[in-house]
Amino acid sequence: MTIALIDYGAGNLRSVHNALVAAGAQDVAVTADPDVVAKAGRIVLPGVGAFAACMNGLSAIAGLVEAMERRVRGEGAPFLGICVGMQLLADAGEEHGTHRGLGWIAGTVRAFDPAPGLRIPHMGWNDVVPVGDHPVIAAGEAYYLHGYHFADAVDVAATSSHGATFVAAVAKDNIVGVQYHPEKSQAYGLATLERFLSWLP
């Protein structure tokens, strides 16, 4: 079963690829080819950088978003979004203006509210506190690096705290997204990827 690791110029691809293999993935295709994505057993969307740049990079590849839509939302392939890859699931992002996201999970990506003593971006190890019971998400500590967070989300799978509670993971049907970086989260991150690889939504 091929796992499509989406290459749109904005992801930590080598580290995510290596982590997926370490978690037991047999066939990881680093790809921007819509035909590969359309046939993939699972899809992983990483993301590093600004929301608008990532969304523009994804949208600039002819047929890629459409192939993702068809395979994930139409046919139910398990999907994992990582960091900005999770944020792109939102309706919109407010980094450097308001920009449309994929709109797969309702919510808006907003900046952390500045407060005395609060370091932004939020960087380093922090809790993952599950909300409800999801097969991919477990309690633990993970590595984060972000200045924006998924606000107003209904489909929250986990939270964490940085000045205030924020969304650490979202999940809806066959779609899951994590704000933290599994590929940088050592044993906890590998366990997250193992659960994703065995998940049958």
Question: Which residues form the catalytic set?
Answer: 83, 181, 183
Map residue 100 onto helix, strand or coil. strand
Please name the residues in contact with 2: beta carbons below 8 A apart, sequence gap of 6 or more: 27, 28, 29, 36, 39, 40, 41
The residue assigned the tokens 């797969």 is 104
- d(C-alpha 86, C-alpha 125), whole Å: 18
The residue assigned the tokens 């097969």 is 135
Structure tokens at 135: 């097969």
The string of DSSP codes covering 115-168 is -TT--SSEEEEEEEEESS--SS--SEEEEEEESEEEES-SSEEEEEESSSEEEE
- 69, 193, 94, 74: which is closest to 149 by C-alpha? 94
